[in-house]
Amino acid sequence: MKDFTEFEKRIGVTFQDKSILQQAFTHRSYINEHPGLDIKHNERLEFLGDAVLELVSTEELFKRYPDVPEGELTAYRAAMVNTVSLAETSSEIGLDSFLLLSKGESKDKGKGRSNILANTFESVVGALYLDQGYSAAQKFIADTLFPKIQEIVDKKLYRDAKSLVQEMSQEKLGVTPSYEIISEKGPDHDKHFTAGIYFGEELAAQGRGASKQEAEQAAARKALEERGWLDD
């Protein structure tokens, strides 16, 4: 079994109940592969953590942007706590190395792993809330996620990139963008796609992702950045 002391050091928290922390990192597949172990998977903690995360992020956005309407705040929050954002944050704090997964799930480095990382982030929030209380969970979220808020707002990451680039390209160029998958690499459990966005015949930008849709979104975002349309 893994030693979670290093993770506790990283987040500056010593759990009273170590089993809750272990549970936060335990994926259902690990239980299925080790039926004799007396441990639980993390799905209930994920359910709890999701609710805590929503409350903490909503409270922060409500206070930080007093003049922004509810609909736009909802978009900010969605961008901050979506799967991509939570998975990236999980990787940044090294959460990946503490996961308890089946051998099959351990090999998956693509979209499936991103989902697991995002769900585990929520599980850790849930575990912190149960073991340390609301303030500890709030601090963890503030330390790891709140630094992303300004970038989300400044770069309009709360807007769907494909919708925004279509809107801007029609306005500025009079064309509707199109997409093409340029390459597809890797085994089934670790696919990587490269998509191109075209304005007419011009290849405007390329983006990569663990799915075709993710690659197209990345290409759209890149085109927005390179054209300077995020500043408009």
> Could you give the residue numbers annotated as active site?
50, 122
- DSSP letter, residue 48: H
Q: Which two tokens stand for residue 71?
A: 């609909």
Query: What are phi and psi for residue 202, nearest 5 degrees?
Result: -85, 125
Characterize 21-59 residue by residue with b for buried, 16 or more Cβ atoms within 10 angstroms of its Cβ, and e for exposed: bbbbbbbebbbeeeeeeeeebbeebbebbbebbeebbee
Residues 35, 27: Cα–Cα separation, whole Å: 13
> Contacts for 216-219 with beta carbons within 8 Å, 24 or more apart?
216/162, 216/179, 217/160, 217/161, 217/162, 218/161, 219/179, 219/195
Coil/strand/helix, residue 68? coil
* Spatial CB neighbours of 97, under 8 Å, sequence gap ≥ 6: none
The DSSP 8-state label assigned to residue 25 in this structure reads T
Query: Which residues on neighbouring strands pair with residue 183, listed in sequence order?
Result: 194
CA 209 to chain centre: 13
CA-CA distance, 21 to 18, in Å (whole number)? 5
